[in-house]
Amino acid sequence: MKTLETCQTLDAQDPLRPLRDLFSLPEGVIYLDGNSLGVLPKTAAARVAEVVTEEWGQGLIRSWNSAGWFDMPQRMGDKIATLIGADAGEVVATDSTSINLFKVLSAALSMVQQDAPQRKIIVSERSNFPTDLYIAQALCAERGFKLQLVEPEEIAASLTDEVAVLMLTHVNYRTGAMHDMAAITQLAHAAGTLTVWDLAHSAGAVPVALKADGADFAVGCSYKYLNGGPGAPAFVWVNPIHAERFWQPLAGWWGHAAPFAFTPDYQPAPGINRYLCGTQPILSMAALECGLDTFAAAQALGGMAALRQKSLALTDLFMELVEQRCAGYGLGLVTPREHSQRGSQVCLTRQSGAFAIVQALIARGVIGDFRAGDGQVHPDILRFGFTPLYIGFEDVWNAVEHLKQVLESGEWQAPEFNQKHTVT
């Protein structure tokens, strides 16, 4: 049985431990919600202040050239590319995940309408993140397609000759379950179907190999495991074999081949640059770069492989301790135990009180979050994310100790922990 001393020893032996010092972690907080919003890199505040006071305040419009503002989407994109199995020049950081999904899904549907117009179905997982489903619903209504929702075990059988696109999130936001990207993409291509992957819960948390796995399109956000800050620009990747086949639907001036020619007609930029649209949020880009630069430090200590190894050790430990120390309190586990089938989070269930238990933990400084079920197939979730850049093994022990105390004392039943706010 693991003890507090065991966890402290694991921290002392952890080669990634120095990375924790790159982040501003509030005193008294165990932060297990980096899968929703990553913590602040220590360099970010000063860097954003520098952009405001020097580059904007003194450089003014000259900074588009002198400070490299104009090339930020490509520069951030190249840094993200190293984390998702893409090459330089294939990724841009821009817009939001929802907007980027609209772009790539629209382009994918245009390809299908040209190559196989009889295919009229988009398949996705029923528990996919809702914004992905909403974007797909809107495009289906506009283009005359149908959205078909299935359970994970039904995906293979759903890939009929009517399916145009398979749209999946690599790591499920509710359960932490991870799809086998290579195997599913191979199945989809064998069925004549294009793949669109959302990497929101995998970029920076698990190794991703978009090109090696043969994916067609991918999007993702940067404010979770990439620590880019609230509302940080998202990213978009298109397999180079598809990148120049179609315009994306938001044909803005930043995606023009020569934006400062100011011609009245749109001519798309080559490659991934056509997936840009309007003027970029430079302050947010500067903060994002600070988050991405922490991965450069991690690279010197083993990179994504080492981060993944630690992530699995942290989540294994959390599951083991919850089962040992919180037995008898009605907690279930929906996150797969198999390493190859899970991301970097652990999701627990309880028939009642899940929301209030999370709120009681937050009041103690253990920050996770709650995701509501549907009252039928999918239960309520107590969700805990483990970012190996800054979470340690003693953090895991202490988090489970607080969970045990919350359950034993019944403090979660207090009225203040049962009041829902707008953001859960």
The pLDDT value recorded for residue 27 is 96
pLDDT in tens, 186-245: 999 999 999 999 999 999 999 999 999 999 999 999 999 999 999 999 999 999 999 999
Token pair belonging to 162? 């009517």
pLDDT in tens, 105-159: 999 999 999 999 999 999 999 999 999 999 999 999 999 999 999 999 999 999 9
- Cβ-contact 370, 1 below 8 angstroms: no
Neighbours of 74 (CB within 10 A): 19
CA distances from 138 to 102, 104, 169, 238, 252 (A): 9, 14, 18, 21, 20
Dihedral, CA of residue 95, residue 101, residue 107 and residue 113, to nearest 10: -160
The pLDDT value recorded for residue 421 is 85
**What residues are annotated to the active site?**
129, 198, 223-224, 383
- Cβ-contact 39, 23 below 8 angstroms: yes
Whether 377 has a pLDDT exceeding 90, the answer reads no
Q: Could you give phi then psi for residue 198, rounded to 5 degrees?
A: -100, 120
Whether 401 has a pLDDT exceeding 90, the answer reads yes
Q: What is the DSSP letter of 326?
A: S
Whether 301 has a pLDDT exceeding 90, the answer reads yes
The pLDDT value recorded for residue 423 is 86
Taking residues 395-417, what's their average pLDDT? 97
The pLDDT value recorded for residue 1 is 83
CA angle 129, 167, 144 (to 5 degrees): 105
pTM (2 decimals)? Answer: 0.97
CA angle 362, 364, 370 (to 5 degrees): 20
Taking the CA of residue 46 as centre, how many other CA atoms within 13 Å lie in the half-sphere pointing to its CB? 4
